[in-house]
Amino acid sequence: MVGQALVRHLSQATNVELVLRTRQELDLTQQTAVQEFFNHTTIDEVYIAAAHVGGIYANQQYPVEFILNNLRIELNLIEAAFNAGVKKLLFLGSSCIYPKLAPQPIPESALLTGPLEPTNEPYAIAKIAGIKLCESYNRQYAHLGIDYRAVMPTNLYGPGDNYHPVNSHVLPGLLRRFHEAKLNNAAVVSVWGSGQAKREFLHVDDLARACVFIQNLTPSHLNSLILPQQSHINIGSGQEVSIRELAQLIKATVGYTGSIVFDTQKPDGTPRKLLDCRLLNSLGFTANIDLVDGLAMTYTDFCRTHLSQEHIT
């Protein structure tokens, strides 16, 4: 999803030539394959959007895959990029790697200040390692012009999302569930947790704009605002809704007319997760896709790309 959004945005630039490979063409968990790719391809700049991701259920069921695959992807890419002489790189973290009970809104300085949310701890540890690896390359090889940056996106949604019925994140998972309930005339849709947990959502096209914006900042400007070991920048929408409110919004977007029940036997995850984006906003960037409009666009994309008549492909 993020990679597709970055391609959509970068392809509009006249001075950019995109170097792309599908997952089938290049397995990023394979060190030798990644190094060979960089050895035989001229690359000036790298955006690392690739990751092994999923919702609460997937994180709980497959913790080994979440830590191993994410470590492999980021270690292979960052090391191979450096070995190939790539000076500029942008690594995407995730807001779920902040401490479970971080202050709200969450400032960049909250990283590593408390225990992580247990349901996604392996994923969080891998992503933290990626950020710290970028910082370590900057500290050790600044004299070579190395400029590896990191951003911390909030919860994302939009075209190209994962709508798997079990392993998806909350927003696309609910979108599919409400759609299927509408098709089947189901009387009730069950939602995990109490509905009280709050989340911030950012449309993926806003994220793509922010990533390119941050990557294009001059090193002197950026370095005047960050610290060598606190270099990541939060990217959020500033809009926070409860899961109960989100379910109601998706219900209205889909046109489902039944009832919603909340399964309190299932976990809520982190109670609240709103990013402090004052640093990004001070640089002149703000998100511009409202959640209601973004949901409508996302549902249209879902229906166009994931449905065949009355069946989800």
Q: Which of 98, 123, 157, 163 is catalytic?
A: 123
Phi, psi (rounded to 5 degrees) for 44: -100, -25
Cβ pair 200, 239 in contact under 8 A: yes
Q: Catalytic annotation on 47?
A: no
Measure the CA–CA gap between 94 and 122, rounded to whole angstroms: 13
Cis status, amide bond into 122, omega within 30 of 0: no
Give the side-chain half-sphere CA count within 13 A for 267.
13
Shortest CA distance to 175 belongs to which of 63, 291, 66, 263? Answer: 291
Active centre residues (catalytic): 123
